Structure 1
Amino acid sequence: MINENKVAVMTRMAAYEAGDGKKNQTICSYFRGDYVGFQMLKTWIAVTVAFCIMCGIYLLFQMDSIMMDFYSIDLLALAKRFVFAYVILCAVYLIAAFIIAQRRYGLALRATVRFGKELEELDGDSEEEE
């Protein structure tokens, strides 16, 4: 006889596996620290590339004034300003990446554990029926 509760659980599990299950499996295949570190590394690379592009665009737009005042510009102060802006930008994005990666890993782990418990529950129910 068909157990409607088992069918509902199996349907929910199949939907999870087809949707978020694959993504959560890849996330949970890492250790928490490795996953968070990898996400922060990707963020740092993206921020560095974006900052270089923004600096290039700024320098292109200011080229006229830079060429006019080239010998009177304090290059050390300008470099300090760029480094300060880069450090602040990196810090903000790395903190955000850390928080988001921690949250994603926690949610994925929780969903994977819940899936495992449902799987054990189904396996335990089938052993009782036999």
Structure 2
Amino acid sequence: MLNNQKIKKMHKLAVYESGEGKKHLAISNYYRSDYIGLALIKNFFLTTIAYGLLLMIYFGYRSEYFMENIHKMNLVFMAAEVIGLYIILLVAYSILTYVYCSVKYSKAQKGIQEYYRGLTQMKKAYDREERRNGRITGRRTKE
């Protein structure tokens, strides 16, 4: 006999597993520190690439000015300014990445805990049903 509550619970678990659960299960394979560390490493490389591209665009756009005034410029100050701006940008994006990944990881953990709680409830329901069917038909269940 079909039990509507079990069907609803199975449907809810299946929807979670095929949707958000896929991402959450992938995230939960990591320890928190490993997940955030990996995200910060990706952030470092992506920020460096993006900053390099922005510098190339800026210096390409301003190349005529730089060629005419290179002898008047303080190149050490300009290099320090470029490096300082890079460090500020890297720190800012690293902080944002850390906060974002921490929140994402905690949401994934909560979702996974709820998912496992639902699976445990389903298993208990099936065990109860199996015991009940074993008593009705007169069979003994393995314990």
Class of the TM-score when normalised by the shorter of the 2 chains: over 0.9
Deviations 1:31-58 (A, max 9, x none): 1000001111111111100100111111
What are the ranges of 5 or more consecutive residues in structure 2 without an aligned counterpart? 132-143
**Counterpart in 2 of 1:25?**
25
2:71 aligns to what SS in structure 1? helix
Q: Once superposed, what is the RMSD of the aligned Cα atoms? A: 0.8
Deviation at 1:72, TM superposition (A): 1.5
Structure 1: gaps spanning 5 or more residues? none
Structure 2 counterparts to residues 97-108 of structure 1, below 5 A: 97-108=97-108
Deviation at 1:116, TM superposition (A): 0.4
Size of the aligned set, in residue pairs, is 130
In 1, the alpha carbon distance for the partners of 2:41 and 2:84 equals: 20
Amino acid at match of 1:115: Y
TM-score scaled by length of structure 2:
0.88
TM-score by length of 1: 0.96
Higher CA-based Rg? 2
**Per-residue deviation, 1:69:** 1.1
Runs of 4+ in 1 over 3 A off after TM superposition: none
Structure in which a larger fraction of residues adopt helix: 1
